Chains A and B, each alone.
Chain A
Amino acid sequence: MNFIGSAVAAWDPAARQRRVVVWAATAVYLAVLVGPFLVLVAGLPGGWSPAAPLLPDRRLLGLLGNSLLVAAGSATLGVLGGWGTTLLTAGTRLAGLVRVALTVLLFVPPYLHTLGWMSLSDVLRSRLGGGVPFPQGLAWTTIVLGTAFAPLAALVAWQALAGLGRSAGEAVVLAAPPGRAWGRVLWPAWRGPLLDSWLVIFWLTLADYGVPMQFQLPVLATELVSSFVGGASPAAVLAVSWPLTLLTALAGGLALVRLARRWTATPGGRSAVGTALFDPARWPAAWTGGLALAASLLVLGAGLPCLGLGLGAAGPWTGPGVGAAWPALAVSLTVGLLAAGLATVVVVPLGDRLAAGLPAAAALPLALPLLFPALLLGFSHALTWTTPWLSWAHAHGAGLLAAHLGRILPFCLALAVLWRRGAGAPPGEDAALVFAGGGWLRARLDLPRRVGILLLGLLLSLRDLDVSLLTVPPGRETLPLRLFNLMHYGAGSEVARLGLLLALAVGLAAALLRRVADLLPERAADLARLPRPESTRG
């Protein structure tokens, strides 16, 4: 076999892929995520300028302070609401329903929360008169971002609860009443996950610019986007963005490393959630009251905007605004499905390789894009795709698709790796490789993970505003972008209907994702039911 044939045929047993497939997936991943940055820095039109000031001035530092305030406030609010909801409902009959609701809420984008609050204030204003203020400023930005990301904290809390085995939980209850056990055993065990969830929300909200823009709160991210869209030198914009980028990367890196360690260290088996430890009726009244108060932050923070959206959308759905939004929805769905499909093809082999272990030096470039703010990805793709030799492709949506692919790839890769590390290889995969190759049989065995990745990619793409705003070609729009533009003119009933339409699409995909994720323990249970030679004879 010649060198090329030999290289193409070479097999990587750790990744369970041909080496060439792993290399190709890596190349696509880096091309989509790192390529545009290289094009930018390489000095193409609008590229890096050493003359750009590197130190932010006082005004920018003040904006960075606003960003930090918003992120810290959102993280605190999110942790309170998320953990309160999980702890209060984990041991009750509502647990399953709450988990589905949390998953759906997790993917409802923050700008729909904003729209819901705006609709609610409009409805109240129309019914109560002009005394109802229009929501804006730091407090509302924090409330919306904190509420929008609280489900993430709630799901981290679920993971922490699942990490406590049933026997351990029962042993704790035998040693002390739940109230005291919480203080002595559970609080020390949960401090870590609590900090993780705070860090994750801090990381994800620090560079958000959509919600602050809607609530007219100047933060560093809004300043950067405004400068970029307003035609400022990209080099200057990128140069002053470094504090935000650095802080985001640090917070994200810390959060991800901690979460990954916790995820892989979580023991299997039945959790302590069903024990008396999680029965609210046995807790001290102060505990129950405090948790109820914390949970109400999430319940009210998510429920009221939903109510606002529902009330605002009341009436016939036949108006011209809704009809005109179908092309935008079609663009969103097309881009979402294409990007999610491509992402699945890329991250499955790459995820298998990463899950099997990779030197840190090789894994780092793959993990880094996850940490950087989306607006940087948007900037780099916007500049790359508007260069003369790519503008034709950009006009046909290639830039939008590539930017969406770049936006979702790191998250899909993270899911691919975590799923494989958490659940291991699907049963029968080794046999599929030996007997039937890497084709349909293996894909069928791995179907839940692949569908999960596809749905996650679709969800993230459907709700994306960050990169769409910067990379959408002239004359096209996605549904979130149409909503965002219309919201500048207020939250009329047509806008509320569009918001509800998007929320329904996202909610449906999120519910499906929840169902697929639920297959994980079911598959484990199937495996447990499979009689093993050690336990069953003949």
Chain B
Amino acid sequence: MLRLENLTRTFANRILLDRISLHLEAGGVAVIRGPSGCGKTTLLRLIAGLDRPNDGRILIGGERVTDGAWLLPPWERGVALAFQDDGLWPHLTIRQHLDVLAAAAGRTTGSSAPAAVSPADTGPGGPTGQIPDAGRAGRSPASPPTSASLSFPDSRPSPAFRPSPDAGSLLADLGLTALADRYPATLSGGEARRVSVARALVAAPRVLLLDEPLAHLDAASRTLVEQALLRHGRHPGRATLIVSHESGLETLLGARLLEFVAGRLDEPGSPGPGPA
């Protein structure tokens, strides 16, 4: 589902990401850990299309979304990102945050719709080995293709899927129902973080990116987010990449653990130079 190939990013002559390669299959969850400033957030921003790599490719669902200097716009990638600084929209209530994305993903509050799974999840280019451009799929912004609308290159039936959560259930799962009509400026840090996670989950993305979802949360908020990630984080049609300083999250989610070492991604216990 998500493939990074030799991704390199430098800042002021410092190599932050050094030929990073990674393959995360559909339904896969990985937790990235590393010291501050090592490039974890930069990696997520590169995947989301908010930053440009110096070199390398990014493929999502077998589709080319970044190829050196060529980038597909963020909203056409089928990616959702829970930002480290939350990035909530000041003029929208919490409910509106979720409804906007639920509507864009073809759902309304209280209903469920499936997220798509691409047959190309088996690797770059799918079974045929061809790498289509994501732009050719004709998705609507922020909305990954649904199983009904997507035409698979080899006409195979869609793999099994589990419905994505609707906005109402996400609000409930993350303890936000009572806050649904409030604006971001009136929320505490923990509440804003939960909204940020809920927004990422409701978007039904093909790739879910979470940047420090548990950082600076109190015990109650942390439990709520962990439970929500347990319930909704792993999805057969989605690759989930989590940046977190918190130990134990990978065990809780049954995720791969990747560590940043000198600009490279290392998978402890895994043979070979990197997590291909």
Using CB atoms and an 8 Å cutoff, list the residues of chain A in contact with chain B. 1, 5-6, 9-14, 18, 427-439, 441, 444-445, 526, 529-538
Contacts and interface: CB of A to CB of B under 8 A. Distances in A.
Contact of B90 (A11, A18, A428): A428
Interface in B19-59: 48-52
B241 interface: no
B261 interface: no
Interface in B131-149: 133, 135-136, 141-142
Contacts of A18: 73
B71 A531 contact: no
B193 A14 contact: no
A388 B81 CA distance: 56
Given A536-B189, A537-B189, A11 B71 contact: yes
Contacts of A430: 50, 81, 83, 87
A445 B184 CA distance: 14
Interface residues of B, number: 50
B7 interface: no
Interface string B214-255: 011110110000000000000000000000000000000000
B90 A13 contact: no
A534 B141 CA distance: 32
B188 A531 contact: yes
Interface string B57-84: 0000000000000111111100111011
Given A1-B133, A530-B184, A537 B142 contact: no
Nearest to A537: B218
A534 B216 contact: yes
A537 B83 CA distance: 17
Given A9-B76, A427-B90, A435 B50 contact: no
A1 B135 contact: yes
B185 A532 contact: no
A435 B190 CA distance: 21
B80 A435 contact: yes
Given A433-B74, A436-B100, A530 B79 contact: no
From DSSP, what is the main secondary structure of chain B's interface residues?
mixed
B73 A9 contact: yes
Given A1-B135, A10-B70, A430-B50, A436 B90 contact: no
Nearest to A9: B135
B172 interface: no
B14 to A, nearest CB: 18
Contact of A444 (B71, B84, B91, B221): B91
A162 to B, nearest CB: 24
A530 B217 contact: no
Contacts of B52: 13-14
Interface in B73-115: 73-76, 79-81, 83-91, 100-101, 104
B187 interface: yes
A325 to B, nearest CB: 41
B189 A538 contact: yes
B199 interface: yes
B142 A437 contact: yes
Contacts of A429: 87
Q: What 5 A-B pairs are tightest by C-beta distance, nearest first? A: A538-B218, A1-B133, A431-B87, A536-B189, A437-B141
B176 to A, nearest CB: 13
B192 interface: yes
A537 B187 CA distance: 11
A189 to B, nearest CB: 30
A530 B185 contact: yes
A251 B259 CA distance: 55
B75 to A, nearest CB: 4
B184 A431 contact: no
Interface in B173-229: 184-185, 187-193, 199, 203, 212, 215-218, 220-221
B198 to A, nearest CB: 12
B70 to A, nearest CB: 5
Contact of A526 (B90, B189, B212): B90
Contact of A533 (B71, B101, B216): B216
Contacts of A436: 75, 100-101, 104, 141-142
B71 A434 contact: no
Given A11-B72, A13-B51, A445-B89, A434 B80 contact: yes
A533 B184 contact: no
B228 to A, nearest CB: 16
Contacts of A431: 81, 83, 87-89, 199
A14 B48 CA distance: 13
Contacts of B191: 538
10 contacts: A9-B72, A11-B72, A434-B48, A434-B74, A437-B141, A441-B100, A445-B90, A530-B192, A533-B86, A533-B215
A437 B90 contact: no
A502 B76 CA distance: 48
A12 to B, nearest CB: 8
Q: Name the residue in B71, B89, B193 with the highest tally of chain A Cβ atoms < 10 Å from its Cβ.
A: B89
A55 to B, nearest CB: 49
Given A431-B81, A435-B199, A537 B190 contact: yes
Contact of B50 (A13, A530, A532): A13
Contacts of A434: 48-50, 74-75, 79-81, 142
A18 to B, nearest CB: 6
A348 B218 CA distance: 41
Contacts of B74: 11, 433-434
A526 B89 CA distance: 12
Contact of B75 (A10, A433, A531): A433
A531 B133 CA distance: 40
A437 B104 CA distance: 11
Contacts of A10: 70-72
A428 B89 contact: yes
B203 A435 contact: yes
A390 to B, nearest CB: 37
A531 B192 contact: yes
A437 B75 contact: yes
B73 A437 contact: yes
B225 to A, nearest CB: 11
A13 B133 CA distance: 18
